[in-house]
Amino acid sequence: MSARVRVVIVGGSFAGLTTAVELRRHLDEDRAEITLISNRSRFTFIPSLTWVATGSRRIDQISFDLESALANSRVNFVNDAMTSIDVDANVVITEQSKYPYDFVVIATGHRSANEAVDGLGPFDGPGHSPMSPREAEELSVALNALLKEPAPVVVGAAPGASCIGPAYELTFEIDHILRRRKLRHLVPISFVTPEPYLGHMGMGGAGKIRQFLEGEFEERDIRYRTSVAVTKVADDSVEVDGSDSIPSALSIVIPPLAGVDAVAKSEQIANPKGFVPVDQHYRHPEVDRLYAVGVAVAMAPVESTPVPVNFPKTGHMTEQMARVAAEDIAARVDGREGSTSALGARCILDMGGTAAFLSVNPVRPPRNDIPKLSVGYRWLLAKRVFERTYLFHASRGRRMPTTLGW
């Protein structure tokens, strides 16, 4: 392919931003015109939303302007909402215009399916979730109210959830905040999860993480129930398995995820849940020159569980997908085949006054390496430093350091 190719990337979070920056590293401006379309004008560092919820961050501290960042990478930015993709005409259609492409990358992320649990607001019900900036800010207000009037707390995840890590983080962080304020004895904390055991996290567990989390919960007097389905959030309780209820004045539930409507409604692209099937290069298996990366990708669960738990999708894994896809597009422009690699995961779990580092390779068992688990205050410092370092480089359109993962 000798002519200048047009690459359109839809989505401005980790998947889209990483794909754009990586693709520009492979293809300079005389070889590729790269356009990123996003319905949001700002990038938000999603892993820090739990810190927004607990009051240690503001949204403006963990976000930056996409247009200026992408300009530094010589990538066009369009602040518009995609409505559909016409794969026969090779055109991305937005609310305001149409964008022809030679390659298109779907990096649209997810839609939180809060409607899966009755009462899981936060804006039309008593339940809370930390899955978006607005929800995290609303949860911060609710947590402050709890500190003034201590009462029972329930944290957990709904059936089919795939992003369960924030539920563990919020459980530990709330416990830590209450202990610091000498209020913990007034607030029973319960953790409810569809996982068959603590630490499953949709990846079949990892090394000693199950025993570690069970011990930490028991040491902190955090009651937990596994293989349960949250069915309803009321003003003063959380209902599980359709009948049993747990008293709760502050209820935080991670919802299942679904594909965004524009992708789900585009013909030939998505599965019934709105996610995009891909091969090992993150190409669509049937639609040529269409890629998907990040949370938008359809991933099969690692195993069947009594209550559904979906495959995890983290920022670190998203960046791996984006790099493989970007390298493959560049390889195809050069008339060759791109390389592939199995997804690994590295993450730091904030536990309040300390943190745990977990490394898993690959994510889907069986694994080549024995999972590594390390605990200590140094990992909490590392998580904070990584956040600042990532935002510093990403806001300047530079390649983001991902050695630690998250």
Q: Residue 374 forms beta bridges with which residues?
A: 357
Count of Cβ atoms closer than 10 Å to residue 403 Cβ = 9
3-class secondary-structure state, position 159: coil
How much is the CA Rg of the chain, to the nearest whole Å? 21
Cα(161)–Cα(271) distance, rounded to whole angstroms?
Answer: 17
For 379, phi and psi rounded to 5 degrees?
-75, -30
CB–CB of 387/395 below 8 Å?
A: no
Using the 8-state DSSP alphabet, how is residue 283 labeled? B
Identify the three-state secondary structure at position 146. helix
Taking the C-alpha atoms of residue 205 and residue 249, their distance in angstroms, rounded to an integer, is 30
The residue type found at 368 is N
Per-residue tokens: 35: 């356009």
Catalytic residues: 163, 347
Phi, psi of 348 (to 5 degrees): -115, 120
Long-range contacts of 380-385 (CB under 8 A, 24+ apart): 380/348, 380/350, 380/351, 380/353, 380/354, 380/355, 382/348, 382/355, 382/357, 383/348, 383/350, 383/355
Q: Where are the alpha helices (DSSP H) in 162-314?
A: 165-180, 209-219, 261-264
212-235: burial string, b at 16+ Cβ within 10 Å, e else: bbeebbeebebebebbbbbbbbbe
User: What are the φ/ψ torsions at residue 249 (nearest 5 degrees)?
Assistant: -95, -25
Could you tell me if 328 and 281 are in contact, meaning their C-beta atoms sit under 8 angstroms apart?
yes
* Max Cα–Cα distance, the chain, nearest Å: 69
